[in-house]
Amino acid sequence: MMRRILYSYYLLAFVLLAYSCSSSTPSNKEASQTEEAGSVPSSNDILTGEMTIIVDEAVFPIINEQMEVFKSSYTNSNFRLLPLPEREAINAIIQGKGAMGILARELSDEENAGFKQRNIKPKVFPIFYDGVVFVNNIASPDTSITIHTLKSLLNGENTEKLLLFDNLNSSMVRRIKEYAKVDKISAKSVKPLTSSEELLTQLAENNNQIGVLSYGQYLDYRRKFGEANKFRILSLQTLADDGTESYFKPSQTTFATDEYALKTTFYVLNYQPNMGLGIGFSAFLTGDRGQRVALKAGILPATMPGREIIIRDNIN
């Protein structure tokens, strides 16, 4: 049933996009005037206008790339991306600082209460799957991490190593606490930093620390700085119901098979009350082009893009 609903939405979004492209695309003269003015048109529809998007900072690089691809086709659109840790991002949405959010969970009934009073029902769709990953210095002898080790680091029982987070209000902290079944985090063996870049810089200089970041952040850093040889992604222990243990590393494959225990679903939450730019960008994120951007970035798209194979009888 969910697949049918999503398919219906994609179809509707495609029709809306196709219609807008044919009827609302500005002339070359209008586009030139807009560029000279350095602003977007005053009118707002699903492909033009401006809006602020609250983004979980764990997936900011991929959303920023998605935005650039969208704007390359729809030049009369303008976005302000506001990257924040999850708790702050949710507060920003509730306070109305942005009409759209990219988050690792939907808002609760309590968090949605203000929108419900204003008869604003969010349009929520999954866009891709990322994961919480553990990274250490390649000089460290550890190649995996168990649930017991993770729990002992979080509650301060294990002080031989240090667990690094880029922010204690992040979605990754929430996911790890849920996974390890820990309510509170001890400062004895947990250290918050200010960014994923600072986290990886510290890891490069120390071999008794374990960094926590999103798989997408790690891939983005590796692409930019080419320092993959300094770090190792740890295999994460997974316990089956019968007590059997397995170890898996994050990848598109282990996300697809649900073998990686800290796989995380990211959603687009559109709180825009009208048929504005939020509809167009949501359709792009969940459509073929947006899903291809996610696939190319190394994370798992919510819907695998199709491949067209053309078979010809004659080569000439």
| Each residue's pLDDT tens digit, 218-233 | 999 888 877 667 899 9
Residue 207 included in any domain: yes
Residue 64 included in any domain: yes
Measured from the Cβ of residue 14, the count of other Cβ atoms closer than 10 Å reads 13
CA 52 to chain centre: 16
Give the whole-angstrom CA distance, residue 286 versus residue 272.
17
Band of the pLDDT at 12, cuts 50, 70, 90? Answer: very low
259 and 137 within one domain: yes
Residue 88 included in any domain: yes
Range of the domain at 285: 2-20+42-129+265-301
pLDDT at 243: 81
- Provide mean pLDDT across the span 174-195: 93
What token pair was written down for 144? 């995996």
150 and 109 within one domain: no
259 and 139 within one domain: yes
Q: Alpha helix locations (H) across the chain? A: 2-23, 28-37, 60-73, 86-94, 113-117, 147-154, 171-180, 196-205, 215-225, 252-256, 277-286, 288-297
pLDDT at 230: 87
Residue 33 included in any domain: no
Give the bridge partners for 78, in sequence order.
50
115 and 68 within one domain: yes
Stretch (H or E) spanning 178: helix 171-180
Round to the nearest angstrom and report the end-to-end CA distance of the chain. 45
| Each residue's pLDDT tens digit, 69-81 | 999 999 999 999 9
| Each residue's pLDDT tens digit, 14-51 | 434 443 443 344 333 333 333 333 333 445 789 999 99
246 and 99 within one domain: no
140 and 105 within one domain: no
274 and 178 within one domain: no
67 and 100 within one domain: yes
Count of domains forming the chain: 2
Stretch (H or E) spanning 136: strand 123-137
- Contact (Cβ atoms closer than 8 angstroms) between residue 143 and residue 232: yes
181 and 231 within one domain: yes
| Each residue's pLDDT tens digit, 246-299 | 999 999 999 999 999 999 999 999 999 888 899 999 999 999 999 999 999 999
- The DSSP symbol for 306 reads P
270 and 208 within one domain: no
pTM over 0.95? The answer is no
pLDDT beyond 60 at 10: no
Give the whole-angstrom CA distance, residue 237 versus residue 17.
44
